[in-house]
Amino acid sequence: MRIALAGAGAFGIKHLDALAEIDAVTVTSIVSRRKEQAEEVARKYDVGQATTDLSEVLARDDVDAVILCTPTQLHAQQAIAAMRAGKHVQVEIPLADSWADAQQVDSVQRETGLVCMVGHTRRFNPSHQWIHHRIAAGELSIQQMDVQTYFFRRTNTNALGQPRSWTDHLLWHHAAHTVDLFQYQTGEDVQIANAVQGPVNPDLGIAMDMSIQLRTPSGRICTLSLSFNNDGPLGTFFRYICDNGTYIARYDDLVTGREEPVDVSAVDVSTNGIELQDREFVAAIREGREPNASVRDVLPCYRVLGELEVQLAREE
């Protein structure tokens, strides 16, 4: 499997480390906005090509698939370009920053039949997998999910504290994780969705605080709080309130509501959610099947986000 990586920032590095753990996978090309960054990462990971031109990479015969870790605003058009070039594609979350663009990516995937997977990592974190398996076995039923997504990002910086060339978004990026996971874990589409947001930051042009409420047809609810103003602790924390226990998931780790550790080491072949996500991408291509977190799987999430965007615009 010959894979090109576009986007050599913090999350691109996570994928390169993950791909190194998968047998018979070769990274053939690194694409970055800055040539010197592409060359530095290519040297570190012994990759043959470093470039700033994604179209050049898409034209190569030695590229079977592409992983896109590029700015959100480029995801949809680049995913479409990759499939038009005959390449399988994994596009990091979010798939798009509009409902119309998400639908267009889905349309091109159906037309080409190629694997198009979206980086909804929460489906793969061992903590959330453990919950999902127990739900599937009939041992748990979610009553409510209470989720906090908190960062301190009053400037355009990435997870490593480095300057970003683009602006992140609470709704189209960070809420996408939770909206999709809530529907995935309950097995239902959201029926009712409400959102409010705080003032728009005059420099960044985005709301820095947001609150979202979701409900499924059977009455399961989700309360999501998001902030770029929170000065610690940072990250996303999921509280599952179930009929048979309460659990708190912090990325790949899981504890009970009383902070008792839950052993998730046997859930999958790794305890690294990004690695498990990339393993699914490679396996789906090799086996000629639709992956978990395919564009078709996650499309209902982007429908909800589109509806919330319209709702928030009406309230301004």
Nearest C-alpha neighbor of 150 from the set 229, 82, 89 = 229
> What are the structure tokens assigned to 119, written together?
């980086």
Query: Could you list the residue range(s) of the whole structural domain that residue 6 is in?
Result: 2-120+274-294
Helix (H) or strand (E) holding 221: strand 221-227
Cα atoms found within 13 Å of the Cα of residue 69, Cβ hemisphere only: 23
Comparing 44 with 161, which gets the higher pLDDT? Answer: 44
Domain of 21: which CATH number? Answer: 3.40.50.720
CATH number of domain containing 209:
3.30.360.10
Using the predicted structure, report yes or no on whether residue 139 has a pLDDT greater than 90.
yes
Q: What pLDDT score does 155 carry?
A: 77
- Confidence band of 167 (pLDDT split at 50, 70, 90): confident
Do residues 109 and 256 both lie within one domain?
Answer: no
250: its two tokens: 């912090």
What does pTM read for this prediction?
0.95
* Residues 232 and 214 both lie in one domain: yes
Q: Are residues 68 and 163 in the same domain?
A: no
- Closest listed residue to residue 295, CA positions, set 89, 126, 123, 125: 89
With a cut of 90, say whether residue 111 has pLDDT above it. Answer: yes
